[in-house]
A and B are shown apart, each in its own frame.
Chain A
Amino acid sequence: MTVTPPDAAPRLDIADPSFSITSDLVHEARERSWYARTNYGIAILRYEEVSRLLKHPKLRQGSAAWPAHNGVTEGPFADWFASWVLNKEGEEHHRLRRLMNPAFSSKLIGGLVPRFQALATELIDGFAEPGRCEFVSEFAEPYAARVIAIMLGLPEHEWPIIARESATIGLAMGITLRQDLPKIEEALGSLYAYADALIADRRGAERDDFVSALVKANRDSDRLSDAELRDALVLLIFGGYDTTRNQLGLAMQTFMRHPDQWRLLAERPELGGKAVEEVMRVNPTVRWVTREALEDFTFAGLDIEAGTTVHLFSESAGTDPRAFGESAFDITAERKPHVGFGGGAHHCLGHFVARSDMSEALPLLARRMRDPHIDGRDEWLPDSGNTGPIRLPIAFTPAP
């Protein structure tokens, strides 16, 4: 194989506020080289290399240093961030992951499908105006937050708390973390209080649900401490909400650009699952995943030093013509697996839920909202990190 000499690799300024990770610039760089150099670390641009490095044993998850990188080294947010299962490695990671996994098994989630369908229908029926909606506030937010409520056994009418506090904590993933810290820590305090009340409730009367299972693991052994229990619950509330809300908005964006595929989905709701995969291939909310080299190693002819940050670009990988041809968005195609849920030891914990709830929502939306198009001013998060719409006004032809 040919190896690109280091000085010939493209450069990407990923700290530039106008940098777009899905831009032609990135796609052109991908056509020149499988990786690019950036302000800090290297960016991996092609499917094969992204897919292998996601799971590479010489790399660890790379976000643990994010608060420190932004000058936040102590306090409630720094402590909570350090507690994330995502930011743990080795046996400590594995113990937490083993404790959380059973609550997210595909078998358990299968039983929730009728509730996801009923929820989607209720929200569409509740649109304020016929033929119009603001998709984020009228569908994506309540849907994502109420799915979390269903999963955790919370009262569904309390969804605005989940939505509001999670959205505020989401500011921590942006480069204004330090300025936003007081707001973020207030929201975190509010979710801690919420988690504590929930734990107290289940300790009083155990149920056959996810929170009770964690409470039991905490009570019956030293496998899960009190602090780990509340940290984990707050992480699950936050981690499940933001991503699903954003990914639903991105799905609408993609389908509005491909009206034939939207009509097909309305006619063939059984394609819901494949629609989710195809959307996440070309328009994933998690635009990049970060890893860090544990030791010096050589990969595909490139020497990677210990401590190097490795950014894996998910959209660039998902649209790589080497893996997917020049083919268009097609919800009937058989594809290689996309990388939108990350991979390896840190593969998304909630992917069965996300896949299931979105694959129910999208066909229902397609059936009820014919010929959707943006009608008004849309607003978007920056096209890096975790992206999605803030506001997405849509006009459509209503259908039963």
Chain B
Amino acid sequence: MRITVDLAKCQDHGQCAIAAPAVFQMDEEGRLVYEGNPDESYRFEVEEAADVCPVQAILIED
């Protein structure tokens, strides 16, 4: 699957990293890092992450 995060919207709240820690992480500085092409097996968690994002910045492209 393919994901993009709108970094203009992203506020680094890190809710995605709680919902799908294998795909989204917060670095030492508290900034988001993520895997743009995660394995299909993570789809459920990634959908949760997109749902829960307070600013709705996560787009699942396929």
User: Closest CB-CB distance, B54 to chain A, in whole Å?
Assistant: 5
The reply to whether B51 and A102 contact each other, CB–CB distance below 8 Å, is yes
Task: Tell me if A229 is interfacial: C-beta within 8 Å of chain B.
Answer: no
The reply to whether A347 and B29 contact each other, CB–CB distance below 8 Å, is no
Which residues of A sit under 8 angstroms from B60, Cβ to Cβ? none
A106 to B12, CA, bound (A): 19
Contacts A101-B52, A106-B51 given; indicate if A347 touches B15 (C-beta within 8 A): yes
Judged by DSSP, the binding face of A is helix
Judged by DSSP, the binding face of B is loop
The reply to whether A337 and B48 contact each other, CB–CB distance below 8 Å, is no
| B52 nearest in chain A by CB position | A101
Q: Mark B26-37, 1 if CB is under 8 A from A, else 0.
A: 101110000000
Task: Tell me if B2 is interfacial: C-beta within 8 Å of chain A.
Answer: no
The reply to whether B51 and A351 contact each other, CB–CB distance below 8 Å, is no
Which residues of A sit under 8 angstroms from B54, Cβ to Cβ? 341, 347, 351
The reply to whether B18 and A98 contact each other, CB–CB distance below 8 Å, is yes
Which residues of B sit under 8 angstroms from A93, Cβ to Cβ? 18
The reply to whether A344 and B52 contact each other, CB–CB distance below 8 Å, is no
Task: Tell me if A345 is interfacial: C-beta within 8 Å of chain B.
Answer: yes
The reply to whether B19 and A55 contact each other, CB–CB distance below 8 Å, is no
The reply to whether A57 and B13 contact each other, CB–CB distance below 8 Å, is no
Task: Tell me if A274 is interfacial: C-beta within 8 Å of chain B.
Answer: no
The reply to whether A101 and B30 contact each other, CB–CB distance below 8 Å, is no
Contacting residue for B51 out of A55, A94, A107, CB 8 A: A107
A241 to B33, CA, bound (A): 35
The reply to whether A343 and B26 contact each other, CB–CB distance below 8 Å, is no
Contacting residue for B12 out of A55, A102, A351, CB 8 A: A55
A56 to B19, CA, bound (A): 19
The reply to whether B13 and A347 contact each other, CB–CB distance below 8 Å, is yes
Task: Tell me if B55 is interfacial: C-beta within 8 Å of chain A.
Answer: yes
User: Closest CB-CB distance, A378 to chain B, in whole Å?
Assistant: 33
Q: Mark A46-71, 1 if CB is under 8 A from B, else 0.
A: 00000100011100000000000000
Contacts A337-B55, A351-B54 given; indicate if A55 touches B48 (C-beta within 8 A): no
User: Closest CB-CB distance, A249 to chain B, in whole Å?
Assistant: 24
Interface residues of A (CB under 8 A from B): 51, 55-57, 93-94, 97-98, 101-102, 105-107, 337, 341, 343-345, 347, 351
| 24 cross-chain CB contacts under 8 A | A55-B30, A56-B30, A57-B30, A97-B18, A98-B48, A101-B48, A101-B51, A101-B52, A102-B51, A105-B51, A105-B52, A106-B51, A107-B51, A337-B55, A341-B54, A343-B13, A344-B13, A344-B14, A344-B30, A345-B13, A345-B14, A345-B18, A347-B13, A347-B54
